[in-house]
């Protein structure tokens, strides 16, 4: 209990509703952050291992972006170890401002990478459906690697002005006291981030998925009309598979994108309101921030539930791990290690 009291006295509690329940609030914050940190790291490590062990997943060019998102989300979980350790241990406040700035910058950059990757995935699916014949010439592995490199560079540069005193990069729900009291948001910097990151990514995603589902709907209607006109023609089965796999895969990616924006929309709205000094609520700050960060785990769940190839790779990976464990147990049962005879000294 003394360590918990130290947490409540020396660390800022964003959800503080008074001194009488500060200990309970800090425990709640600690549980939420520790649980999310564990789920994010475990889930994204699983996605990375499955992608390396399932060759069929590499047939999709979007696997480059999915793996990039998985690595970015994994680094988000690793970065969350900083507030986790700060809550679980006593913080002396040494270099707290630098720690806070670096942590906020890293989290913002990683989530910017995820947002940019979702926009690139939507463009990739748009090209796959609108230009199927020239798609392989337009989208090559070399160009994909260059695009991913540019995403990381752009994400690192766009939040760099925060180190020169121009606003906060967007991290709220502050665990560190310096972040909550001394590092304030700036309306101009927030508008800069929205105009160069949030708004373009949202526009690209809305534009591409609108046209993707419009084309797929037209294709389905044409197939239905053809079947109604020529019911005895056997060549329709081949035409039915034209956009059907692409549409199913686009639906998987659309679910990931939708959940991303559903979880991030409260955070972005609060970011705008706090920057304009309209609303400032520590509880909303904490909840919207960690709701947005929880998206790093939701991507794993959605992809594993929606993609059959990913589920097959996950099952094979788990079977391989289980079989290796069984083999080790059988070997230990066949060749038990001899017990060491106790001598008089050990007695």
3-state DSSP of 274-327? HHCCCCCCHHHHHHHHHHHHCHHHHHHHHHHHHCHHHHHHHHHHHHHHHHHHHH
First and final C-alpha spacing in the chain: 41
Residue 194 is encoded by which pair of tokens? Answer: 């929205």
From CA 76, how far away is CA 155, in angstroms rounded? 14
Strand segments, DSSP code E, in the chain are: none
pTM: 0.74
- Hey, where are the domains in the chain? 27-226+247-332
Question: Which letter does DSSP use for residue 93 in this model?
Answer: -
pLDDT given at position 5: 44
Q: What's domain 27-226+247-332's superfamily in CATH?
A: Rhodopsin 7-helix transmembrane proteins (1.20.1070.10)
**What pLDDT does residue 212 have?**
83
The tens place of each residue's pLDDT in the chain, 347 residues long, gives 444 444 444 444 544 444 445 566 667 777 888 888 888 898 888 888 887 776 656 666 777 888 888 899 899 888 888 776 766 654 545 577 777 788 888 888 988 998 898 889 889 888 888 888 888 888 888 898 999 999 999 999 999 888 777 878 876 556 666 777 777 778 888 888 889 988 898 899 888 888 888 887 787 777 777 777 766 654 444 444 444 556 666 677 777 778 888 888 888 888 888 877 787 777 788 888 888 888 888 877 776 666 666 777 777 777 777 776 666 666 655 655 555 444 433 33
C-beta contacts of 52-60 below 8 A and 24+ residues apart: 53/313, 53/316, 53/317, 53/320, 54/309, 54/310, 54/312, 54/313, 54/316, 54/317, 56/309, 56/312, 56/313, 57/309, 57/310, 57/313, 60/249
pLDDT the model gives residue 335: 59
């Amino acid at each position: 209990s003394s360590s918990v009291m130290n947490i409540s006295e020396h660390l800022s509690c964003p959800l503080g509703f008074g001194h009488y329940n500060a200990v309970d609030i800090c425990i709640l914050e600690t549980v939420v952050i520790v649980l999310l940190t564990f789920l994010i790291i475990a889930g994204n490590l699983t996605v990375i291992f499955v992608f390396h062990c399932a060759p069929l997943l590499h047939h999709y060019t979007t696997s480059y972006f999915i793996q990039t998102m998985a690595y970015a989300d994994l680094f988000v979980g690793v970065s969350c170890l900083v507030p986790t350790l700060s809550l679980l241990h006593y913080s002396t406040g040494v270099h707290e401002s630098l720690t806070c700035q670096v942590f906020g910058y890293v989290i913002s950059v990683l989530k910017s990478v995820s947002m940019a990757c979702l926009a690139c995935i939507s463009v990739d699916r748009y090209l796959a459906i609108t230009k199927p014949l020239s798609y392989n010439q337009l989208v090559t592995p070399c160009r994909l690697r260059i695009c991913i490199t540019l995403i990381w560079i752009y994400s690192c540069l766009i939040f760099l002005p925060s180190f020169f005193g121009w606003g906060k990069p967007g991290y709220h729900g502050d665990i560190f006291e310096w972040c909550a009291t001394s590092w304030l948001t700036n309306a101009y910097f927030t508008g800069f981030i929205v105009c160069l990151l949030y708004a373009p990514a949202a526009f690209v995603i809305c534009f591409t998925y609108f046209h993707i589902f419009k084309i797929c709907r037209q294709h389905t209607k044409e197939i239905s009309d053809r079947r109604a006109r020529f019911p005895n023609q056997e060549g329709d089965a081949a035409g039915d598979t034209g956009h059907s796999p692409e549409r199913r895969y686009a639906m998987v990616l659309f679910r990931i994108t939708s959940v991303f924006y559903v979880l991030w929309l409260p955070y972005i709205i609060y970011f705008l309101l706090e920057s304009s000094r309209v609303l400032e609520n520590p509880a909303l700050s904490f909840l919207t921030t960690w709701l947005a960060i929880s998206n790093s785990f939701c991507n794993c769940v959605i992809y594993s539930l929606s993609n059959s190839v990913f589920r097959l790779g996950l099952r094979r990976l788990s079977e391989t791990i289980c079989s290796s464990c069984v083999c080790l147990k059988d070997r230990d049962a066949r060749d038990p290690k001899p017990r060491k005879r106790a001598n008089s000294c050990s007695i």
